[in-house]
Amino acid sequence: ELQNFLETVENTPLSNQEESCKVMSDLEAELEQLRSALEEKGVELHHIIKEEQQRKEAELQKQLSEGKFALLSCEELLEFANQTLTITNEEEFLTAAKQIKERVTMAPAFRLTTRPAVSDNMSQFTVDFRAERAGLQRLHFLPVPRAPEIDVSNCVVRDNAITVAWRPLGEADGNSDGGSGPIERYEVEYRKTNHSSSLRVAGEACWEKICDIRETQVTISGLKFDSPFVVVRVRARNKAAAGEFSEPVAMETRAFTFGFDAVTAHAELKVHGDSVTWEPQGVKGHDPRLRAKDNKSRSATPSPNKTAVSRAGRDRFAGESYTVLGDQEMIGGSYYWELRPLADWKSFSVGVAYRASLGRFDQLGKGAGSWCLHASQWLQTSLAAKHNNRAKALDWPLPQRIGIYCDYDNGDLMFVDVDQLRLLHSFKTKFSQPLVPAFTVWCGGIAVATGLQVPSFMGKFIS
């Protein structure tokens, strides 16, 4: 832990420099946007004032033209009136006077107002940016959200899924953002570990991240629990800043994880991670009847009835026992795993056994120390439960996904068609020795899924 701490401290200056450059760049970008916004608003306001100025000038110009025309008309009318005063003939004078009256009535001056159409007042365009200026002076860095608090009481581990719930700090005071601006989303990180401590040990898995969470809880599903604990932490993020992570919480993942014990595998069984395939050595290996004849001709082949002793130091399974065992024992508690037959399979068995009870040539279900489900589509289709050399035929189609449940303390062993949620068969007994998962494969292969919790649907089968 101290070494990890020192490495973290040594790497912090470089990370600090990179983060400083990033936030400086973000600051310049934000300031440039402010400048652009101010320039755009200034251009817009200038344009509004200019339009109003042009409108008023056009109105005044029109009024000026009409006034000049009216003035010219009045001058012509006065000149005509002066000329009329020199007329001595009464009839001509009356005619001229009538014309003057008509012209005065129709004169443009009578249709004009002597007040300007617009004023020079532009006070409606007065601006006062004191509030905005004060707002700009208050500009500061965006507050970082406070670390949320994981609500352990509402966190659930079930069906190989983890539900993580949390509370934003400050929520109790009616301020869900904790005084740091609105929280837009959350980020959750998790990693598997063999320790309940939140500190990462060298060689353990790195953090895996889930982003853009809008609620205050998230469910992580489809996990393989191949470690006893999963550590989770969460942080809040507002517009651009992410806060510190919450205090990590270790959640226990009770699940059964095992692999194939390759040392026990029959020579014609090949272990590849979580799968086992049957790879016969020679043509005779394809037909069990030919293999049986060949075995009878070998005087050196030990008898299948040979008394079994401890498997410690024993060779792998041989003869017709195409068997491989799991590498983890079951002693107390409940266990669950699943099996899926691979393409072109012909026959397989799956179950549990006392490790010490199986001899090299013993087959699953033949003795008192092994229990299994046997499936075959060689020559004819069959499904049967086997124990102590007894078989019970099961009237059900061959499953594509089989769940195996073992409750060591209560002596329960169940086989379930997972896709149909159908109980295929259950054994009730009293286990007296450590058990191991056991498998037999002939022609084709199988794959197992481990690191699984006992699924909730098993509750309908468990009394």
pLDDT level of residue 6 (50, 70, 90 thresholds): confident
For the ranges 100-109, 116-125, 318-327, 350-359, the lowest mean pLDDT is seen at: 100-109
**DSSP 8-state symbol, 343:** T
Convert the pLDDT of each residue in 409-427 to its tens digit.
Answer: 999 999 999 999 999 999 9
pLDDT level of residue 314 (50, 70, 90 thresholds): low
Asked whether the predicted pLDDT for residue 310 surpasses 70, the reply is no
Quick one: tokens of 212?
A: 């853009």
Q: At what angle do helices 2-84 and 90-105 cross, to 10 degrees?
A: 170
Asked whether the predicted pLDDT for residue 228 surpasses 80, the reply is yes
pLDDT level of residue 198 (50, 70, 90 thresholds): low
pLDDT of residue 301: 36
Q: Model-level pTM?
A: 0.63
As a whole number of Å, the CA-based R_g of the chain is 47
Percent of the chain topping pLDDT 70: 88
Asked if 264 and 270 count as a contact pair (C-beta separation under 8 A), the reply is: no
pLDDT of residue 287: 47
What average pLDDT is seen over the chain? 86
Percent of the chain topping pLDDT 90: 57
Convert the pLDDT of each residue in 378-395 to its tens digit.
Answer: 889 999 999 999 999 999
Of 287-291, 441-445, 459-463, where does the model show the most confidence?
441-445
Calculate mean pLDDT across residues 279-291. Answer: 56
For the ranges 49-63, 194-208, 324-338, the lowest mean pLDDT is seen at: 194-208
Residues in the chain: 463
Q: Can you tell me which residue has the tokens 């009481």?
A: 153
C-alpha 384/C-alpha 263 separation (Å) is 28
C-alpha 200/C-alpha 244 separation (Å) is 17
Asked whether the predicted pLDDT for residue 307 surpasses 60, the reply is no
Considering only residues 429 and 8, tell me which one the structure prediction assigns the higher pLDDT. 429
What residues does 150 pair with on adjacent strands? 166
Asked whether the predicted pLDDT for residue 177 surpasses 60, the reply is no
pLDDT of residue 5: 81
Q: Can you tell me which residue has the tokens 């109790």?
A: 172
Asked whether the predicted pLDDT for residue 281 surpasses 50, the reply is yes
Asked whether the predicted pLDDT for residue 173 surpasses 50, the reply is no
124 to 52, 133, 187, 452: CA distances (angstroms): 11, 21, 51, 75
Calculate mean pLDDT across residues 43-69. Answer: 91
Asked whether the predicted pLDDT for residue 290 surpasses 50, the reply is no
pLDDT level of residue 125 (50, 70, 90 thresholds): confident
What is the rounded end-to-end Cα distance, in angstroms, of the chain? 46
pLDDT level of residue 328 (50, 70, 90 thresholds): very high
For the ranges 274-283, 289-298, 397-406, the lowest mean pLDDT is seen at: 289-298
